[in-house]
Amino acid sequence: MEKKIIDFVSNPLTEVYGRNLFSDAVMKEKLPKSIYKAIKKVQAGEGELNIEVAEVVATAMKDWAIDNGATHYTHWFQPLTGLTAEKHDSFISPTGDGKVILEFSGKELVKGEPDASSFPSGGIRNTFEARGYTAWDVTSPAFLKQDNSGVTLYIPTAFVSYTGEALDKKVPLLRSMDAVSAAAMRVLKSLGNTTSKRVISTVGPEQEYFLVEKELFAKRMDLQLCGRTLYGAMAPKGQELEDHYFGTIKERVADFMRELNYELWKLGISAKTQHNEVAPNQFELAPIYETSNIAADNNQLVMDTMRKVAARHDLVCLLHEKPFAGVNGSGKHNNWSISTDDGINLLEPGSNPQENAQFLLFLAAVIKAVDSYSPILRMSAANSGNDHRLGANEAPPAIISMFLGEQLSEILENLAAGKASSGSGNSFMEIGTSMLPKLPKDLTDRNRTSPFAFTGNKFEFRMVPSSESISGPNVVLNTIVAEVLNDFASILESASDKKTAIQKIVLDTYKTHKKIIFNGNNYSDDWVAEAEKRGLPNIKSTVAALKALVSDDVVKVFEKNKVLTKRELHSRYEIYLEKYAKQINIEAGCAIRMAKNEILPACTSFIKKLADTINSVKTAGINAVCAAEHDLASKVSALVDKLYTEVGKLEKVLATTQGISDIEKQAISFRDDVFAQMLAVRQIADSLELLVEKSYWPFPSYSELLFNL
């Protein structure tokens, strides 16, 4: 392949950055002042979009896109498949004389009507009334996607049904951002804040991924169809030498990363940090945090771009949570915080006492939210891939707990024990001084094992699956924190003595919910036992976790905060169960094919070779016994018998499970019967791999897949 060198001398990064983004700067330049102002108002949630404004923006957007080579536009949306969807329309409009003009109206910008009958709706939309609408998300900028042959204008949109119900990942995210903003503003106002207008939830997702050689990938049906290996004996070397993590980035990978960054920067995505991860051939990319909505859109683009650029380098990017058994899997660290529109991070401890009071109040809200609603938070990280990580032999565990660090915990402990002086200040401004200690700046130590860790001025939710949209976890975080903040606000608003009220909220919350706080090693067995004693849920599988979507308290909180209705939640429950069932169904089908059409024939050929060898060696009088060949052949043959039997069982159990019509029962059967039997089959196949001559083995080994770059 021709090596593409990206030259940042003749293409200065500052000019490359955001080149393909219909950014604020572009809008400011291209739009009349009044229209620009109107759009800013809509973005800030202070005005409604009207068609006259949309008309002007559409024309400017089209001209900009066409100047940059675009021929098509698409409403880009995020159905519940977890992927993104797009349908392209060209700008052409025939003039009747064999010519065309290029057009794009405000109506086309604002609303689209894809034939959406094939997207999952969980019963919300019957296929005969397939109408689903896409609606322009004014808060996420349009962008140009460039491929080898052309340019398309992408317009981020929300996807809703005819009746206005959410059919996608964006709608609830936007609703949850409104919910947390409104609730946090109530609290801030009751604390005397008169300057902030909105509160914005922010996210910086760290994306982990694997790279494998395309040629090897093409030889493995499991990687191609399932994104993970269903077979594969562990290589003699794994990650035990810790020689990959933060190690020198090899040139081939560095080339990939450079082009990846280049593509992302053009889209205005702030790719910032990159490094080798723990497992061999595993890497990470982190952008700088953004508003949740934009961060979610950008993360989808990051995943897309990773796959696209990898292909250009004859590599395949694996985003699955567990592509390889025996080495670490991939996740996404979802760094989350909330800030005011005038720049106050509400989870920043700060150094002045008034801020401390505010900080401790918001901290208390997160503590209470995570403890009270941990099952739905756990749900938001559940998918079939993550079942190999959470609650399996790998970190983080399936138990949600929160890391605060020694110092912060001690501060809360002291407050609870009444060790801090209660003081005698009587004005609101003095609340902090009298009640709270000065917080040191960098007050958290590092803990890499906690699923939900305070990291200085944000929380890092580490359970998020690597392949999924980050919307789900952030919808949950925003919503449950909004719920608690509203409770706090109600208390504060009616309190005559705010000082006492704040103090009481922080202390009561800490006392009731401190069981969620754990600063030790979350990977240890002791913790599992201790968590059980504390009564913390340990929800080990996706099927079990999804149940939270339809539990009464979750429905109540989501309805109350206007994020998702009961019907929307139930539809999601069904869709995610179905998705789980379908994924395991594909995996099982693939495991059967590989065993029957690839592994078994390879093994029998090898046995035949050994048998032929034994015969020839004996006949030639070289060795009358051939003990080694005999032993090996019988071992392989015995395992082949076993494999054949177990694959037969897998086929049977799969057929039975496929026949279950109740989706809940079916998903459980996929987990308990099908998946369990797949493991039994795998175990035998992996033992065979260790015995059979390499040239006979039908697909590339772990050593080749993990150590060849």
Question: Which residues here bind ligand ADP, judged by CB under 6 A?
Answer: 202-204, 206, 273, 286-289, 335-337, 345, 457-458
CA angle 218, 224, 229 (to 5 degrees): 100
Residue 204 Cβ, how far from ligand ADP at the closest point, in Å? 2
71 contact choice in ligand ADP, Mg ion, none (CB below 5 to 8 Å, kind-dependent)? none
Residue 345 Cβ, how far from ligand ADP at the closest point, in Å? 5
Between residues 120 and 287, which has the closer beta carbon with respect to ligand ADP? 287
Residue 697 Cβ, how far from Mg ion at the closest point, in Å? 38
The CA distance from 261 to 16, in Å, is: 11
Between residues 425 and 456, which has the closer beta carbon with respect to ligand ADP? 456
Between residues 521 and 585, which has the closer beta carbon with respect to ligand ADP? 521
Q: How far is CA 152 from CA 57, 279, 480, in A?
A: 17, 37, 38
266 contact choice in ligand ADP, Mg ion, none (CB below 5 to 8 Å, kind-dependent)? none
Q: How far is CA 540 from CA 43, 130, 233, 466, 467, in A?
A: 40, 36, 25, 18, 19
Closest residue to ligand ADP, judged by C-beta, is 204
457 contact choice in Mg ion, ligand ADP, none (CB below 5 to 8 Å, kind-dependent)? ligand ADP
Residue 206 Cβ, how far from Mg ion at the closest point, in Å? 5
514 in contact with Mg ion (CB under 5 A): no
Phi/psi of residue 690, nearest 5 degrees: -75, -15
Contact 186, 489 (CB under 8 A): yes
288 contact choice in Mg ion, ligand ADP, none (CB below 5 to 8 Å, kind-dependent)? ligand ADP
404: number of Cβ within 10 Å: 26
202 contact choice in Mg ion, ligand ADP, none (CB below 5 to 8 Å, kind-dependent)? ligand ADP
Site size for Mg ion, by CB under 5 A? 1
268 contact choice in Mg ion, ligand ADP, none (CB below 5 to 8 Å, kind-dependent)? none
Between residues 395 and 692, which has the closer beta carbon with respect to Mg ion? 395
Phi/psi of residue 143, nearest 5 degrees: -150, 165
Between residues 337 and 677, which has the closer beta carbon with respect to ligand ADP? 337
Residue 315 Cβ, how far from ligand ADP at the closest point, in Å? 24
Between residues 122 and 204, which has the closer beta carbon with respect to ligand ADP? 204
Binding mask 317-336 for Mg ion (x = CB under 5 A): ----------------x---
Residue 218 Cβ, how far from ligand ADP at the closest point, in Å? 34
Sign of the four-CA dihedral 255, 257, 259, 262 = negative
Residue 709 Cβ, how far from ligand ADP at the closest point, in Å? 23
389: number of Cβ within 10 Å: 23
For 169-191, give the DSSP string: SHHHHHHHHHHHHHHHHHHHHHT
203 contact choice in ligand ADP, Mg ion, none (CB below 5 to 8 Å, kind-dependent)? ligand ADP
Q: How many CA atoms lie within 13 A of 390 on its CB side?
A: 33
Residue 522 Cβ, how far from Mg ion at the closest point, in Å? 15
Contact 701, 614 (CB under 8 A): no
Between residues 419 and 448, which has the closer beta carbon with respect to Mg ion? 448
Q: Chain-centre distance of CA 463, in angstroms?
A: 9
Phi/psi of residue 250, nearest 5 degrees: -65, 155
Phi/psi of residue 137, nearest 5 degrees: -95, 100
Residue 335 Cβ, how far from Mg ion at the closest point, in Å? 7
Residue given tokens 């979802």 in the structure block? 334
207 contact choice in Mg ion, ligand ADP, none (CB below 5 to 8 Å, kind-dependent)? none
Listed in sequence order, the DSSP H helices in 380-494 are: 406-416, 431-435, 471-494
At 163, which amino acid appears?
T
469: number of Cβ within 10 Å: 26
Between residues 208 and 394, which has the closer beta carbon with respect to ligand ADP? 208
145 contact choice in Mg ion, ligand ADP, none (CB below 5 to 8 Å, kind-dependent)? none
Between residues 285 and 607, which has the closer beta carbon with respect to Mg ion? 285
The CA distance from 359 to 502, in Å, is: 11
| Closest to 397 in 3D by CA, of 256, 538, 258, 263 | 538
Residue 194 Cβ, how far from Mg ion at the closest point, in Å? 35
Contact 317, 169 (CB under 8 A): no
Between residues 58 and 286, which has the closer beta carbon with respect to ligand ADP? 286
- Binding residues for Mg ion (CB under 5 A): 333
